Structure 1
Amino acid sequence: MHRSAPRHRLVTRLLACAAVPVMLVVAGCSSDSGSGSKKSSATPSASASASPSVAVAAFAKLPPDACKTISAKTVEDLIPNVKSKAGTADKSSDISIRSGCNWNGLKSNGTKGSDYRWLGVSYQRYVSDATLGSGAKRATEQYAKEVAKAQATAGAKSVKSAATTGIGNQATTVTYTLRKTDADFTYATVVVRTENVVLTVDYNGAGYEGAKSPSVADVTKGAQTAAKEAVAAVATANK
């Protein structure tokens, strides 16, 4: 009989623990040794930590009409006898992310031949993303790709690149010549990053039937003039 008393006390304790909420049982009834259970950690796990934040992109939109980002005067100066002053807008599923416009014209000089000119502007806006990085970082990466793309134009000759100050945060002007449609074209491409937006201005021209092609200096000046207006248009759209 002296061995039945401990068994009776154990049954009594187990019954008492059964009547206690589960959370309390873990804390006070998990052991008969009296040592108690270990305290749960209050430190949150690494997986529960907040996702890293990125800087908000400076520009939330692009100009509503890319064809109006280059002034009518500049278009007329750069495109003699322009076919359409209103320009031709690029197709885009979302003009707040990607847009563009181009103009062209052919001016006849009689027996001296004809002058052809083409001007185009395109915009790409990048948003900040916790996985991909800030809008400015993503734009910087795309800016480098666009410069490399212009430098690697198929068939281009006399390719030259120069850092260009006074236009956006970063700008590079790429010039080259290219033979096509039985004429020697002169090109100037200005790639610009302004905060989280990358814009590219292409200006080129050629002379037909004896007319001279424009000089590198002339197309460079024209492209950079248009690029400055394009950068200003982005800032205006976000005021």
Structure 2
Amino acid sequence: MRSLPLTLAARLLPVAVIVAVGMAMPATGGSDAPAEPAGASPPPSTAATAAAPSSAPPRYPKPPSDACGALPASTVKELVPGAKTAGNELRSSDLSRRSGCSWHALDGFDYRWLDISYDVTSGAAGRVDKGSAISGLGDKASLSEELTTDDDQQIREAVVTVHQDNARITVTYNGGDFSSNKAASAETIRKGALTAAEKALAALDR
């Protein structure tokens, strides 16, 4: 789940010094600079011509209140066999900004874990995410994959992050076989994560 730009005061300091020096210098009558024509208009102010920030409200004022209902029961059964389709709500300290749900189960020796989370901001979501860019999902999306081994048990995980307007959706899906100690196939985990991301994205506009 960065360095700050120079402050406005720091950027304006050289200008303030120049203005102060200019005011302290006496005016001389022998300037070689050509006089401005009468009636000439001063150059337009940069501040006046700067585009005003948009006052439009964010598309998504809050995340889905029922994140566990974002995925159809059929999708949960397919991706997490043996899990309760109702899911487990992911607790958040700020439900006006974040919500989420998780499902996990051991079906025989086959283990699966899936969770989705929503995060909305007041402006466009511009966070840079790890992983490879994928097209056709939201305004922009990325996919990262990882294979880990713990006590000889392999687990493969895929994380899909989707941005749409001011909302960000993160889907995490992983699994392994506790009999063979092998991870689930890359195709299975990747496809499952993308399927869940598509369903979670669609739930934003319900």
Q: Which is richer in helix?
A: 1
SS in 2 for 1:173: strand
Alpha-carbon distance in 2 for matches of 1:197, 1:218: 27
Q: AA paired with 1:140? A: G
Match of 2:177 in 1: 207
SS in 1 for 2:194: helix
SS in 1 for 2:192: helix
Which residue of 114, 136, 140 maps to 2:126?
Answer: 140
Alpha-carbon distance in 1 for matches of 2:69, 2:150: 29
Q: AA paired with 1:107? A: D
Match of 2:199 in 1: 229
Alpha-carbon distance in 1 for matches of 2:182, 2:147: 13
SS in 1 for 2:126: helix
Asked whether 1:115 is paired with 2:110, we answer: yes
Pairs aligned (count): 154
Alpha-carbon distance in 2 for matches of 1:203, 1:58: 27
Match of 1:125 in 2: 120
Q: Offset of 1:90 from its aligned partner?
A: 0.9
Match of 2:25 in 1: none
TM-score normalised to structure 2 length: 0.70
Asked whether 1:104 is paired with 2:99, we answer: no
Which residue of 140, 149, 156 maps to 1:179?
Answer: 149
Identity fraction in percent: 38
Stretches of structure 1 that go unaligned for 5 or more consecutive residues are 1-51, 109-113, 128-134, 149-160
The runs of at least 4 consecutive aligned structure 1 residues that moved more than 4 Å come to: none
SS in 1 for 2:59: coil
Alpha-carbon distance in 2 for matches of 1:89, 1:164: 28
Superposition CA RMSD, Å? 1.5
Alpha-carbon distance in 2 for matches of 1:211, 1:183: 5
Stretches of structure 2 that go unaligned for 5 or more consecutive residues are 1-51
SS in 2 for 1:231: helix
Alpha-carbon distance in 1 for matches of 2:140, 2:67: 21
1:14-57 Cα offsets, whole Å, 9 max, x none, are xxxxxxxxxxxxxxxxxxxxxxxxxxxxxxxxxxxxxx533432
Larger Rg: 1
8 Å CA contact 1:115, 1:213 repeated in 2: no
Alpha-carbon distance in 1 for matches of 2:70, 2:165: 17
SS in 2 for 1:85: coil
Match of 2:22 in 1: none
